[in-house]
Structure 1
Amino acid sequence: MAWDDYVAAWSGLHGGFDPRGASPLVRGWVLSAYKIGSFLGRKRISPLTVTLAGLLLCLGVPVVIGLAGPPGGLAAGALLVLLAAVADGLDGAVAVVTGRVTRAGHVYDSVADRLGEAAWLTAFWLAGVPAWLAVSAGAAGWLHEYLRARATTAGMTEIGVVTVGERPTRVAVAVTGLVLAPIAAIIAPAWTVPALTVTVSIWLALQTAGLAQLTVAVHRALR
């Protein structure tokens, strides 16, 4: 599949959002997913296989943190989150490139994303973040995705708005926190939990702001 054909198909699956007009980071990410997805498609690797691989990587994050602890477990967790994020971007690319886009696959991918994020926040809790904060951050992220899904069901045909609380933001916050925390653990072990707590607090703040942005967009689209 040619790049322009891929963009047209990808845009149709993302509310008409054209990545060619996005920031260099987003455009580069979509282009990289297209190239790697094309390679995986030629190797006959299915989109579902990539989705399951990403989910397993996410589930491994609380395991390595629970077993190894800081700083090594946190660093390994950051690597797993990053690899899971790559897999998350590739399953859709493989589906588009191979012509295997299905409604069931979209549902499986969304469920895997929510389970993966729950695993990340569980890892933060195991590392010392207050349970109420981890649960609040997870609930805010879930509500963000639920609102958009329900709005689409109600007739919103476009993405509405790219908020500050989208999935890539959650990935970036999780990776950043899990990278900085082991550094803090080396410099001053007492800083580890505060660093992780600040990370999840930022997650919650961005999700709350994103939810407000999305609520306004949904109201305008459906009124």
Structure 2
Amino acid sequence: MVAGGGVQTDWVGYATRWKALHGGYDPQAAAFPVRGWFYLTYHSARGLARVGVSPATVTVVGLVCCLFVPAVAAQHGRWPVVAGGLVALAGVLDSLDGAVAVVARRVTRFGYVYDAVLDRLGETAWLVAFWLAGVPGWLVALTACLALLHEYLRARATAAGLSGHAGTSLAERPVRVLVSALGLALVGVSGGLSDTLAAGAGTVAVSIWLLLGVVGFIQLFAAVGRDLG
């Protein structure tokens, strides 16, 4: 299912299309910082679409950034700071690929699934980076499983009719991007002092991710029961 061709240059038209594609979530009605982020993303996406950059290209570049994260973090010392920067860049690209698809009228069902799968691969790569930095493997594995379960529940609930507004939680992907980017940066700063401090910083970051994931999963599960029960 592909919307018609051409580049959508009007912000209101873009916001309307975004709302229709994302369960009724209206960028124009969002809080000021969120609305500003959507507006900046829209203009960036419009520029990329005008020079012929496809949504798939943006998605793949974002995945490549993610796959480099463990390799960079494995260098230890202050290198995890660079890994954190790659996570942040991947997060920006993840916002841009969907925006380019809407702006260029190239939204497809395949792209929706493809993007979601690559997002999960990217997050797995971030957690591997934390493991390489010394975070206990059981904590990394538990956090990864909870993140996957969170997205699986959302996907099944959305297929069953859960609205986009009801399906939001404290553990959304932007939050995971922020925790991972800042966490790896902190690992790098601590790594300049000692590997033990670096491992401790990474453990704190992953623990925060896990805690937010538990709260987010409870919120999402409650929304499913409320809207679909």
- The question of a shared fold, defined as TM-score above 0.5 by the shorter chain, is answered with yes
1:69 to 65, 76, 82: 76
CA shift, 1:155, in A, is 2.2
Cα distance in 2 for partners of 1:43, 1:24 equals 29
1:185 to 191, 200, 210: 191
Which residue does the alignment assign to 1:109? 115
Structure 2, gaps ≥5 residues long: 1-8
Between stretches 104-113 and 181-190, larger displacement belongs to 181-190
Which residue does the alignment assign to 2:17? 9
Which residue does the alignment assign to 1:42? 50
Percent of paired sites with the same residue: 48
Verify: 1:33 aligned to 2:63, yes or no: no
Which residue does the alignment assign to 2:161? 155
CA shift, 1:181, in A, is 1.8
Which residue does the alignment assign to 1:81? 87
Cα distance in 2 for partners of 1:202, 1:78 equals 16
CA shift, 1:136, in A, is 0.8
Normalised to the residue count of structure 2, the TM-score between the two structures is 0.93
Verify: 1:123 aligned to 2:129, yes or no: yes
Normalised to the residue count of structure 1, the TM-score between the two structures is 0.95
1:219 partner amino acid? G
CA shift, 1:31, in A, is 1.1
User: For residues 111-150 of structure 1, what are the alpha-carbon distances to aligned partners after superposition, in whole Å with 9 as ceiling and x for unaligned?
Assistant: 0100000000001001111111111111111111111110
Verify: 1:210 aligned to 2:179, yes or no: no
Structure 1, gaps ≥5 residues long: none
